[in-house]
């Protein structure tokens, strides 16, 4: 089981958390103006990176707040967790 650092509550076991998939997907500002393809792209198409990726977590059994993380999807190593709205840390470029 992973130990995940909630930015608000500290280090807690994985079962307290809800995984939220790829992070930093901006909701379209004017949905009515989108084509069906663009809407499908926003709703369904996701990076499914094999390696480091930005993703969202929610501390479901704790503060119930969303935050972001950089995790390696093969080793499961979590590099950093950070609050929503703060500056996005870059993905590591080595050690993939």
Partner 1 sequence: MTKFSIVSIARNALTHHENWPRQWRNPDPKPSYDVVIVGGGGHGLGTAYYLAKEHGVSNVAVLEKNWLGGGNTGRNTTIVRSNYLWDESAHLYEHSLKLWEKLSQDLNFNVMFSQRGVINLAHNLQDVRASRRRLYANRLNGIDAEWLEPEQVKAFCPILNVSPDARYPVLGATLQRRAGVARHDAVAWGYARAADARGVDIIQGCEVTGIMREGNRVTGVDTTRGVIKTRKAAIVVAGDTSVLAGMAGLRLPIQSHPLQALVSDSIKPVLHTVVMSGAVHVYVSQSDKGELVIGSGIDALTAYGQRGSFHLIEGQMAALKELFPIFSRMRMMRAWAGTVDTCPDASPIVSKTPIDGFYINGGWGTGGFKSTPGSAWCFAHTIARDEPHPLNAPFSLDRFVSGRLIDEHGAAAVAH
Residues that bind partner 1 (CB under 8 A): 1-2, 14-15, 18-19, 21, 36-37, 40-41, 43-48, 50, 55, 71, 73-76
Q: Quick one: 37 or 87, whose CB is closer to partner 1?
A: 37
Residues 51 and 93: beta-carbon distance below 8 Å: no
Q: Which is nearer to partner 1, 46 or 88 (CB)?
A: 46
CB of 78 to partner 1, least distance (A): 10
Contact 37, 30 (CB under 8 A): no
In the complex, least distance from residue 45 CB atom to partner 1, rounded to whole angstroms: 4
Distance between CA atoms of residues 76 and 74, nearest Å = 6
Q: Which helix (H) or strand (E) holds 60?
A: none
Nearer to partner 1, 2 or 84 (CB): 2
Q: Which has the closest alpha carbon to 17: 59, 52, 66, 49?
A: 59
């Amino acid at each position: 089981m992973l130990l995940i650092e909630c930015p608000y509550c500290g280090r807690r076991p994985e079962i307290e958390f809800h995984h939220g998939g790829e992070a930093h997907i901006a909701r379209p500002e004017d949905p009515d103006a989108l084509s069906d393809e663009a809407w499908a792209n926003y709703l369904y198409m996701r990076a499914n990176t094999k390696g480091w990726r930005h993703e969202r977590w929610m501390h479901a059994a704790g503060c119930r707040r969303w935050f972001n993380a950089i995790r390696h999807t093969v080793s499961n190593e979590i590099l950093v967790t950070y609050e929503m709205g703060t500056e996005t840390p870059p993905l590591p470029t080595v050690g993939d």
